[in-house]
């Protein structure tokens, strides 16, 4: 079916094919969000067919449905390039511990955190895990998410990790939006290997990765490179093991400490290094001189009460920045990308245009779908967000916490 949107107050994110070909928006280019005011857009089947200013709309357009978008913004759906959407149970008891003053690291050290999620996940049948994940994904789509990356990392056993990745593979097959999978077996050391790191690294290399590759269960290799989790040397070893199977690194770096994750990610040509709460000048310069995307996860910093990522310094240094939700039960129990964008403006001093680009086009590039989604470009997927009537683009992050989305279109269909 084709849908014609008419009288769109602001059609935002109309990046040209030339811009898309150049890859992620870096530095000052991030502030350039092309818009057409008083515009029309036509979808055809699952794609964006054409668009332009109302004054130039061809008189003979035929569409199955016509929408009057007066006063509204039409823009690309969010591209959430970092989530842990597959998990068995929420962890609000740890939330209480955090309120009482325990840190993320202290909760992890007493057997909570990722290990808590791993115990619950290993006990849950695959079908139930899939149903829970599918429900969450559908809710995220209704909030405007039109492409998503999902990680394993709550199994930490051969069976558990494969179970998670098989769930993600089913989501890929059944979800209306693009889904990418990252293998995060190196999320933390399971208790059984606490004093035998070599044994767990070998388990990943010899028992997990070969099966993952043969069943085509992952697109990326991820490691939590952090003090108390995986050292820089261990991170590099696991990334290289994944790379032998064609998995590009996309790693957790510099969340709690200057972990060297950024430097390792850049050296290994990682697609992205994610978190970046804790950065020094060397790490910022290293990222700026690379093609690796820095994915900022402000809701995780917010939830853990940490300093926010230094978005301004990163952008001013010339880095390519994406924004993602980090949706997970421990450090970011929200998949709301609208909130991520608002928080990035309010707390990281990003301009609304920068935040929208980072959460759409650059997010798409951070999961290799920049050629099919993340902007209003002819031939791309019609994955679109139509807002309620709003006075301006800046109103979206300004009016934080309010749901301003009226309709979401995925592959040309309203959801
Ligand atoms: N930092 C490591 N991993 C997740 C949190 C996982 C958890 O606490 O369950 C993150 O990206 O924030
Ligand atoms: Zn994460």
pLDDT given at position 107 = 86
| Burial label, 135 (beta-carbon count in 10 A; 0-12, 13-18, 19+) | exposed
In sequence order, the β-bridge partners of residue 221 are: 183, 249
Interstrand relation of 320-323 and 248-253 (parallel, antiparallel or unpaired): unpaired
Q: In the chain, what are the domain boundaries?
A: 2-77+375-414, 79-365
d(CA 41, CA 136): 30
Cβ neighbours for 90, distance < 8 A, ≥ 6 positions apart: 329, 333
Tell me what the mean pLDDT of segment 61-89 comes to.
Answer: 97
Of the candidates 111, 106, 46, the residue with the CA atom closest to the CA atom of residue 379? 46
Q: Is 328 in the pocket of ligand 1 (CB under 6 A)?
A: yes
- Residue 371 predicted with pLDDT over 90: yes
Question: At residue 221, does pLDDT exceed 90?
Answer: yes
C-beta separation of 363 from 77 below 8 A: no
**113 C-alpha to ligand 2 centroid (Å):** 12
Atom of ligand 1 nearest to the CA of 274: 11
d(CA 296, CA 302): 12
Cα atoms in the 13 Å half-sphere on the side-chain side of 244: 10
Q: CA-based diameter of the chain, in Å?
A: 72
How many alpha carbons lie under 13 Å from residue 233 in its C-beta half-sphere?
Answer: 2
Measured in Å, how far apart are the chain's first and last C-alpha atoms? Answer: 14
Which is the closest atom of ligand 1 to the Cα of 326? 11
pLDDT bucket at 383, cuts 50 / 70 / 90? very high
Q: Is 252 annotated as a binding residue?
A: yes
User: So what's the pLDDT on residue 111?
Assistant: 77
What CATH homologous superfamily does 2-77+375-414 map to? Urease, subunit C, domain 1 (2.30.40.10)
Closest listed ligand to the CA of 277: 1
- pLDDT for 188-204, tens place per residue? 999 999 999 999 999 99
Residue 83 has pLDDT above 90, yes or no: yes
| Pocket flag, ligand 1, residue 43 (CB < 6 Å) | no
Q: Which residues of 161-175 are buried (b: 16+ CB within 10 A; e: fewer)?
A: bbbbbbbbbbbbeeb
Q: What is the mean pLDDT of residues 29-39?
A: 98
Q: What is the mean pLDDT of residues 67-89?
A: 98
pLDDT at 133: 98
Alpha-carbon span 129 to 53, nearest angstrom:
46
Query: According to the annotation, is 15 in a ligand binding site?
Result: no
In testing the pocket of ligand 1, which one of 84, 106, 116, 275 has its CB within 8 Å of the most ligand atoms? 84
Task: Report the separation in Å between the CA atom of 300 and the middle of ligand 1, taken as the mean of its atom positions.
Answer: 8
Q: Give CATH for domain 79-365.
A: 3.20.20.140
Per residue in 108-132, pLDDT tens? Answer: 787 789 999 999 999 999 999 999 9
Closest CA to ligand 1's atom 12: 331
Q: Is-contact 68 312, C-beta < 8 A? A: no
Question: What's the token pair of residue 392?
Answer: 């301006």
Confidence of residue 258 (pLDDT cuts 50, 70, 90): very high
Rounded mean pLDDT, 12-24: 98
Q: What average pLDDT does the structure give for the chain?
A: 97
Tens of pLDDT, residue by residue over 309-350, are 999 999 999 999 999 999 999 999 999 999 999 999 999 999
Tell whether ligand 1 has an atom less than 6 A from the beta carbon of residue 224.
Answer: yes
How far does residue 330's CA lie from ligand 1's centre (Å)?
Answer: 6
Quickly state the pLDDT bin for 277 (edges 50, 70, 90).
very high
Residues 17-41, mean pLDDT to the nearest whole number: 98
CA distance 14 to 378: 9
**Does the beta carbon of 330 lie inside 6 Å of ligand 1?**
yes
ipTM surpasses cut 0.90: yes
């Amino acid at each position: 079916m084709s849908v014609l949107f008419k009288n769109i107050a602001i059609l935002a994110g109309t990046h040209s094919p030339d811009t898309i070909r150049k890859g992620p928006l870096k530095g000052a280019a991030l502030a350039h969000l092309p818009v057409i005011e008083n515009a029309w857009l036509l979808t055809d089947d699952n794609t964006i067919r054409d668009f332009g200013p109302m004054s130039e709309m061809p008189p003979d357009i035929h569409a199955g449905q016509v929408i009057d978008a007066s006063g509204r913004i039409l823009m690309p759906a969010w591209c959430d390039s970092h989530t842990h959407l597959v998990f068995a149970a929420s962890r609000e008891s740890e939330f209480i511990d955090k309120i009482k003053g325990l840190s993320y690291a202290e909760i992890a050290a007493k057997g909570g955190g990722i290990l808590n999620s791993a115990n619950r996940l290993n006990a849950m049948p695959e079908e139930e895990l899939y149903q829970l994940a599918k429900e969450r994904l559908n809710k995220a789509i209704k909030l405007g998410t039109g492409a998503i990356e999902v990680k394993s990392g709550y199994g930490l056993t051969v069976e558990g990790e494969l179970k998670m990745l098989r769930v993600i593979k089913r989501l890929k097959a059944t979800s209306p939006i693009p889904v990418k999978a990252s293998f995060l077996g190196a999320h933390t050391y399971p208790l059984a290997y606490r004093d035998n790191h070599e044994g767990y690294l070998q388990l990943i290399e010899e028992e997990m990765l070969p099966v993952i590759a043969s069943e085509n269960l992952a697109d990326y290799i991820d490691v939590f490179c952090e003090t108390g989790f995986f050292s820089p040397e261990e991170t590099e070893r696991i990334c290289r093991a994944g790379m032998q199977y064609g998995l590009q690194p996309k790693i957790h770096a510099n969340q709690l400490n200057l972990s060297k994750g950024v430097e390792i990610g850049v050296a290994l040509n990682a697609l992205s290094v994610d978190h970046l709460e804790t950065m020094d000048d060397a790490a910022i310069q290293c990222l700026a001189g690379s093609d690796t995307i820095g994915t900022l996860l402000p809701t995780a910093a917010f939830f853990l009460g940490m300093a926010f990522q230094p978005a301004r310094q990163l952008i001013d240094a010339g880095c390519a920045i994406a924004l993602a939700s980090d949706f997970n039960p421990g450090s970011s129990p929200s998949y709301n990308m609208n909130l991520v964008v608002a928080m990035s403006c309010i707390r990281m001093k990003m301009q609304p245009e920068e935040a929208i680009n980072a959460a759409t086009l650059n997010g798409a590039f951070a999961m290799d779908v920049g050629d099919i989604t993340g902007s209003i470009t002819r031939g791309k997927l019609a994955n679109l967000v139509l807002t309620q009537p709003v006075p301006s683009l800046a109103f979206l992050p300004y009016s934080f916490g309010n749901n301003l989305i009226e309709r979401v279109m995925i592959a040309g269909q309203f959801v």
